[in-house]
Amino acid sequence: MFVWLEELVTFLLKIINLELNSAFYKALHFFIYDTVKIFILLVSIIYIITFIRSYFPIEKIKDYITSKNRVFAHILAAIFGVLTPFCSCSAVPLFLGFLQARIPLGVTFSYLISAPLSDAVVIAMLFSLFGWKIAFLYVSLGILIAVIAGLIIGVLNLEKEVLIEVKPIKQFYNEEKTAFILRLKLSWENSFDILKKIYLYVIIGVGIGAFIHGYIPTDFISKYASGDSWYAPIIAVIMGIPMYSNAVGILPLIEVLTQKGMLLGTALSFMMSVVALSLPEAMILKRVLSVKLISIFFFIVGCSILFVGYLFNFIL
């Protein structure tokens, strides 16, 4: 989707003659590409959802979703996450869109957790690297984590911990053309209002991820999280949280780590924590959710990821 953006950033950095394999180049490329991508997604997705919301009675949509089987709604959200090729930070705009549309909080979290963990490309890469059984088990457990975590967050009734205001969209009953134009204008204003509130957090979060992406060597990770010790998955998860990448970007590193002696379950725990619990994601969410809710989200998902790591290590 954003190949053009990646090529543009690469072209611009070539103009200033940076060394392509340097840590600074990798960090700067990462920062520019992801920051611009997230801003584009944030404005466009919020705009579209706000505009659509102006035509529909949101309370009826909310009632329809909540009237369905609770588990079924979470499963649908998790599967939808698999179908969207977003990393943790790129999934935040659609997560915000769901909040703006007043989708139940737990269901929105099922999407937020599932989206960065896997998509069609990730499944194909896992299949090619580790076989279909590992790929199937990984995706199944990813969906299970998203559903269970979303259900727990939903049961805790944490809606008051959402800091962003959901503004009502006025219904227009005058001339259709005028109503359409007014809806476009309101949607545009709402999108930029949200952007103004969180843009600084996006820049700080992606900046942290870019620094780690460029300057943390692979050997540092394998040194402390390799082997078959019981605490290796815990260290892997803790080391993965400050980092930031999508699943496709981290899979080549996972292959290298397993070749260097890291157990597959530990490596996948590291991968899941990088893509689903990144520090940059937390920085962006901090403007939208309370620290309490972010902490609960990280704790539940972190424990679930550890379970997956230990399960893989035990089975394999």
Q: 238-284 pLDDT, tens per residue?
A: 888 877 666 766 776 777 778 777 888 888 888 888 888 877 778 77
Tell me: pLDDT of 118 over 80.
no
Give the percent of the chain with pLDDT over 70.
78
Question: Quick one: pLDDT at residue 62?
Answer: 59
Q: What is the mean pLDDT of residues 188-208?
A: 75
Task: Yes or no: say if 92 and 281 are a contact pair by the CB < 8 Å rule.
Answer: yes
Q: Report the distance separating Cα 69 and Cα 210, nearest Å.
A: 41
Tell me: pLDDT of 178 over 70.
no
Question: Quick one: pLDDT at residue 138?
Answer: 87
Tell me: pLDDT of 175 over 70.
no
**pLDDT tens figures, 79-114:** 888 877 676 666 777 787 778 777 888 999 998 888
Per the structure block, which two tokens stand in for 61?
């949509």
Q: Count of residues for the chain?
A: 316
Closest CA to 137 of 262, 312, 276: 312
* 3-state SS assignment for residue 69: coil
Tally of CB atoms within 10 A around 133:
11
Q: What is the mean pLDDT of residues 66-74?
A: 76
Closest CA to 187 of 100, 111, 108: 100
Q: Over the Cα atoms of the chain, what is R_g?
A: 20
- Write down the pTM of the prediction: 0.72
Range of the domain at 65: 3-315
> Measured between alpha carbons, how far is residue 133 from residues 120, 123, 124, 178 in Å?
15, 11, 12, 56
Per the structure block, which two tokens stand in for 290?
């309370």
- CA 138 distance to own-chain centroid: 17
| Residue of 13 and 2 predicted with greater confidence | 13
Report the chain's mean pLDDT, rounded to a whole number. Answer: 78
Question: Quick one: pLDDT at residue 166?
Answer: 59
Question: Quick one: pLDDT at residue 174?
Answer: 45
Question: Quick one: pLDDT at residue 12?
Answer: 85
Q: Count of domains in the chain?
A: 1
Task: Yes or no: say if 306 and 234 are a contact pair by the CB < 8 Å rule.
Answer: yes
Tell me: pLDDT of 120 over 60.
yes
Q: Report the distance separating Cα 38 and Cα 44, nearest Å.
A: 10
Cβ-based neighbours of 119, under 8 Å, separated by 6 or more: 82, 83, 84, 85, 247, 248
**pLDDT tens figures, 296-307:** 999 998 999 999
φ, ψ of residue 227 in degrees (nearest 5)? 90, 180
